[in-house]
């Protein structure tokens, strides 16, 4: 662990990303303290520009505080990003582990099922699913998870196929350990590095996907999110640029922070790759 933290701390971009992500999490946790009123309440006149004596970041078409919407929206974006990623990781890791370890017909069935999902454009598939189902946080989280697991499944399958022939796995097989125990205690711990790195990037993709769905009006109409703020103001983007710019910056900064953290994790968990770059 000490070597991991030392390697992570050497990546300045990763440290910056971690600080930014912690700030966003702190903003989400303290939204009630910073903005006691509901983000749906009208606090001033509509189309109030930012830094003009009223709400700090201005108001939208209905006089709602943009800053309050960003603070409360960070909760929705982070929650949906992490929840959908956890579901996708569980699904993708399970299927990839079964395909990579068992092989044969199991591998063919899982990979055929995975290829079927990958033939459909992810965003289009998400739009169709959310349009058919009732738009809500739970349905969006499930939808994002369903379009996110196939790449991870292929990654985990490749890791398990590579590790199942190693000496320590063969020793576990000869000692009479069950396949489930071998997968959980021998192979999975040695496959966590790429899974962790991929998960950090999946959170960023989930936030972008949710923002895109909300922008199209397919988000949960009962919760405030960054994509909802941008989507509700897209018709007046010329007259009220701040309504789209500030939540857009929040999305960009958060996604960039998660990508920087993912790169830092990749360098810290793959020291050979780091040495190769240095060489």
What is the CATH number for 74? 1.10.3720.10
Q: Is residue 279 part of a domain?
A: no
What integer is the mean pLDDT of 76-95? 90
What is the model's pLDDT at position 1?
A: 65
Q: Is residue 195 part of a domain?
A: yes
CB atoms within 10 A of CB 186: 19
**Domain count along the chain:** 1
Q: What percent of the chain has pLDDT over 90?
A: 16
Instruction: Round to whole Å and give the CA distance between 264 and 36.
Output: 36
- Is 4 inside any structural domain? no
Q: Is residue 7 part of a domain?
A: no
Residue-number span of the structural domain to which 208 is assigned: 12-272
Average pLDDT, the chain: 85
Q: Is residue 94 part of a domain?
A: yes
Q: What are the tens digits of pLDDT across the range 156-201? A: 998 888 888 888 888 888 888 888 888 888 888 888 888 888 888 8
Strand partners, 64: 42
Q: Quick one: pLDDT band at residue 277, thresholds 50, 70, 90?
A: very low
The DSSP bridge partners found for residue 8 are none
Q: Which of the 8 DSSP states describes residue 186?
A: I
Q: Would residue 2 count as lying in a domain?
A: no
């Amino acid at each position: 662990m000490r070597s991991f933290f030392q390697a992570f701390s050497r990546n300045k971009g990763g440290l910056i990303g971690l600080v930014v992500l912690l700030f966003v999490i702190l903003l989400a946790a303290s939204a009630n303290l910073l903005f006691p009123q509901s983000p749906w309440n009208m606090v001033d006149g509509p189309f109030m520009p930012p830094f003009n004596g009223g709400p700090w970041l201005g108001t939208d078409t209905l006089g709602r505080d943009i800053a309050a919407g960003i603070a409360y929206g960070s909760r929705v974006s982070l929650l949906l990003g992490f929840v959908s990623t956890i579901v996708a990781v569980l699904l993708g890791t399970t299927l990839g582990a079964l395909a990579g370890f068992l092989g044969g017909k199991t591998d063919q069935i899982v990979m055929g099922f995975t290829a079927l999902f990958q033939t459909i454009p992810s965003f289009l598939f998400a739009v169709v699913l959310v349009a058919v189902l009732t738009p809500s946080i739970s349905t969006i989280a499930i939808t994002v998870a369903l379009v996110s697991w196939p790449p991870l499944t292929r990654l985990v399958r490749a890791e398990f196929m590579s590790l199942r022939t190693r000496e320590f796995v063969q020793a576990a097989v000869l000692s009479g350990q069950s396949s489930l125990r071998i997968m959980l205690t021998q192979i999975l711990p040695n496959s966590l590095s790429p899974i962790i790195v991929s998960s950090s990037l999946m959170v960023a993709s989930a936030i972008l996907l949710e923002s895109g769905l909300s922008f199209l009006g397919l988000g949960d109409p009962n919760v405030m999110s960054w994509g909802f703020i941008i989507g509700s103001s897209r018709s007046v983007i010329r007259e009220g640029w701040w309504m789209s710019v500030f939540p857009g910056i929040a999305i960009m900064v958060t996604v960039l922070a998660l990508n920087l953290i993912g790169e830092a994790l990749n360098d810290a968990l793959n020291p050979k790759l780091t040495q190769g770059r240095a060489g």
